[in-house]
Structure 1
Amino acid sequence: MRNKKILVTGADGFIGSHLTEELVQQGYDVRAFVLYNSFNSWGWLDSSPEYIKKDLEVFAGDVRDPHGVKEAMKGCDAILHLASLIAIPYSYHSPDTYVDTNIKGTLNVLQAARELGISKVVHTSTSEVYGTAQYVPINEEHPLQGQSPYSASKIGADQMALSFYRSFETPVAIIRPFNTYGPRQSARAVIPTIITQLASGKKKIKLGALSPTRDFNFVKDTVNGFISVMNSEKSIGEVINIGSNYEVSIEETAKLIAEVMGVDIEIESDDIRLRPEKSEVERLWADNQKAKQLLKWEPVYGGKEGLKKGLKETADWFLDKQNLSQYKADVYNI
């Protein structure tokens, strides 16, 4: 995809902004699709270095609008489709918006890709589509379970993407990142929740369930996964896990964060942060062999030491007062 034009949807978000910046730094011609708003905000791209922004074309729109999506995609060779609603608690509150954004938005991208003859579409999935692990590590053949409206909408979007590959030979690849973390992540996610509370001087922090396990993936590894999937012909028609192949509980993660930040920690259970019992995903642990074999991708931040390194980089970013000021540590963010 060198010397080709790349469109990144959701470029204003956490992973999307990191991906956009890395693509520009690697010399790609990038168009960033950001959510239109009256403040003319580009989300996290507003804080990107000036040398990034001057080499970036920005298109403001909404993935729910098929006409705007098609217009944004004109002249592009590859689409990295990240735009979606991702907060699980909010999906209990407003599931209709998840269908519109995640399923219909993905359909709009696929329809335009088919009509415009786009060379590659990389659709973003999530490890949440697996639900609680029926076996570990979880490979791409694991059954899919919609345990929240969010995960159900992502299953629908994934299947829509695969249907376009099978029905129309649309060159679609599906990247399935496990729990990505890092600088800029929303405080609705557990790692920023812990870090922002500790960075604000709290010793007793509020969390939901402590026993579930996750496979945390540092954002730099996730970004490298996207670029690898985009550039691999072998990825077309495939679903590919991007994960660290390291399982850790939420409680142990909190203790690791306290360790790298050099503070003592006391955890208090907060009922409002608990998912409904049958909706909680109790265990996630990625099998990343397919990514290694097809893409030659593997995590730089793997294992316990890699996790600690990533947590340190993340905590250092949040400890910057200018960054921390953009978060509301005292408010539970659904």
Structure 2
Amino acid sequence: MGNNITGLKNKRIMVTGADGFIGSHLTEELVKSGSNVKAFVCYNSFNSWGWLDTVPNEIVNELEVFTGDIRDPHGVKKAMQDCDIVLHLAALIAIPFSYHSPDTYVDTNIKGTLNILQAARELNVEKVVHTSTSEVYGTARFVPITEEHPLQGQSPYSASKIGADQMAMSFYSSFGLPVSVIRPFNTYGPRQSARAVIPTIITQIASGQQSIKLGSLHPTRDFNYVKDTVNGFLAVAESDHSIGEVINIGSNYEVSIGQTVELIAELMGQKISIETEDQRLRPEKSEVERLWADNSKAKQLLGWEPMYGNIEGFKRGLGETIEWFTNPSNLSHYKAGIYNL
């Protein structure tokens, strides 16, 4: 499906986490479509706007950038003052880091979301789109996973996102706040953090390593190319049918980490061996063994469907991702030789 987002064109839209992987792609797409965008980025002493520092000037010049901290209710409310729609992506997302710093996940993911919801309620914002994750489902009890699947907090990260999702839905139920929860399955593509498995594989091969260090190979994932995820956000933001709903955005295609490595090596024309590294393994009960999205609700409610679904789509998305990562100026942003938490 194309971007039919005429309804967002004249809206003032704030994207939190606009400096991140998905947030930067979403911000770019909104600007291209003629929306008036405020990018909320995480304040830091380097004055870095994250991935927005790498997008073309003609995009950046159209943005209003607000540097702040999602954990600060006053700054959040100030940033949201003149906004019609808030797309809330700001979060701590690394699962390994959540094992040793869970406190920060509660502050950022739950309290940060509460700050957005409180401000939206006080300012009469037209709509809040809150970002969930397929990790809230834990290991699949049945497949494909529908939105009715039980929630299982198998890592502090997952638990904090379940808390944030429930907080968002409670504001819809308690106060009638127009909230939608978008639940993307594993997104991949240009600009993704090297912690994630696809960039881990590509950057190691691209830097000439023959032996690739990885964690578990048998778990399966439902990988979503970032363009499909962005289109999902636009569809959820635009549609009134999404209010009060939790909506999976996934490809409805299941593939193991081991198969993914083989596909990437084949696309990059390299022969490799795989070395399992203990520090990359999740604690046994914390590993999510299987994810496979049922995306029928997104199709029915929003008319959204993946353009990069199935094996052919996955290969196409991987090809575009490899092309981006193997560009030396892009690869230079990554530390391929170390394990990134």
Q: TM-score range by the shorter chain?
A: over 0.9
Q: Give distance in 1, aligned partners of 2:190 and 2:13.
A: 23
Corresponding residue number in structure 2 for 1:117:
124
Superposed, 1:315-334 pairs within 5 Å as 315-334=322-341
Structure 1, unpaired ranges of 5+: none
SS in 2 for 1:251: helix
Q: Determine whether 1:70 maps to 2:77.
A: yes
Q: Give distance in 2, aligned partners of 1:259 and 1:291.
A: 32
Give, as a single letter, the amino acid of the residue that structure 1 aligns with 2:207.
Answer: S
Q: Is the 8 A contact 2:9 2:33 kept in 1?
A: no
Q: Is the 8 A contact 2:247 2:298 kept in 1?
A: yes
Q: Determine whether 1:233 maps to 2:240.
A: yes
How far off is 1:262 after superposition?
A: 1.0
4+ residue runs of structure 1 moved beyond 6 angstroms?
A: none
SS in 1 for 2:285: helix
How far off is 1:287 after superposition?
A: 0.1
Q: Give distance in 2, aligned partners of 1:93 and 1:315.
A: 31
Cα deviations across residues 52-79 of structure 1 (Å, max 9, x unaligned)? 0110100000000000000000110000
RMSD: 0.4
Cα deviations across residues 163-214 of structure 1 (Å, max 9, x unaligned)? 0000000000000000000000001000000000000001110000000000
How far off is 1:310 after superposition?
A: 0.4
Q: Give distance in 2, aligned partners of 1:196 and 1:176.
A: 27
Q: Give distance in 1, aligned partners of 2:156 and 2:340.
A: 18
How far off is 1:35 after superposition?
A: 0.2
Q: Is the 8 A contact 2:110 2:163 kept in 1?
A: yes
Q: Give distance in 1, aligned partners of 2:106 and 2:74.
A: 18
Corresponding residue number in structure 1 for 2:213:
206
Give, as a single letter, the amino acid of the residue that structure 1 aligns with 2:302.
Answer: L
Q: Give distance in 2, aligned partners of 1:3 and 1:323.
A: 33
Corresponding residue number in structure 1 for 2:146:
139
Corresponding residue number in structure 1 for 2:188:
181
Over the matched positions of the two proteins, sequence identity in percent amounts to 76
Corresponding residue number in structure 2 for 1:306:
313
After TM superposition, the score normalised by the length of structure 2 is 0.98
Q: Determine whether 1:96 maps to 2:87.
A: no
Q: Give distance in 2, aligned partners of 1:41 and 1:275.
A: 31
Q: Of 265, 282, 299, which residue of structure 2 is paired with 1:258?
A: 265
Give, as a single letter, the amino acid of the residue that structure 2 aligns with 1:321.
Answer: P
Q: Give distance in 1, aligned partners of 2:145 and 2:57.
A: 41
How far off is 1:298 after superposition?
A: 0.2
Q: Give distance in 2, aligned partners of 1:88 and 1:39.
A: 25
How far off is 1:40 after superposition?
A: 1.1
Q: Determine whether 1:295 maps to 2:315.
A: no
Q: Give distance in 2, aligned partners of 1:330 and 1:201.
A: 10
Give, as a single letter, the amino acid of the residue that structure 2 aligns with 1:169.
Answer: G
SS in 1 for 2:67: strand
Q: Give distance in 2, aligned partners of 1:72 and 1:268.
A: 46
Corresponding residue number in structure 1 for 2:61:
54
Q: Is the 8 A contact 2:147 2:248 kept in 1?
A: yes
Give, as a single letter, the amino acid of the residue that structure 2 aligns with 1:239.
Answer: V
Structure 2, unpaired ranges of 5+: 1-7
Q: Give distance in 1, aligned partners of 2:276 and 2:81.
A: 49
Q: Give distance in 2, aligned partners of 1:35 and 1:207.
A: 30
SS in 2 for 1:15: helix
Give, as a single letter, the amino acid of the residue that structure 1 aligns with 2:262.
Answer: K
Q: How many residues align?
A: 334
Q: Give distance in 1, aligned partners of 2:271 and 2:73.
A: 50
Q: Determine whether 1:26 maps to 2:27.
A: no
After TM superposition, the score normalised by the length of structure 1 is 1.00
How far off is 1:259 after superposition?
A: 1.0
How far off is 1:2 after superposition?
A: 2.3
Superposed, 1:34-45 pairs within 5 Å as 34-45=41-52
Q: Is the 8 A contact 2:145 2:293 kept in 1?
A: yes
Q: Give distance in 2, aligned partners of 1:265 and 1:287.
A: 33
Q: Give distance in 1, aligned partners of 2:86 and 2:264.
A: 35
Corresponding residue number in structure 1 for 2:176:
169
Q: Is the 8 A contact 2:24 2:51 kept in 1?
A: yes
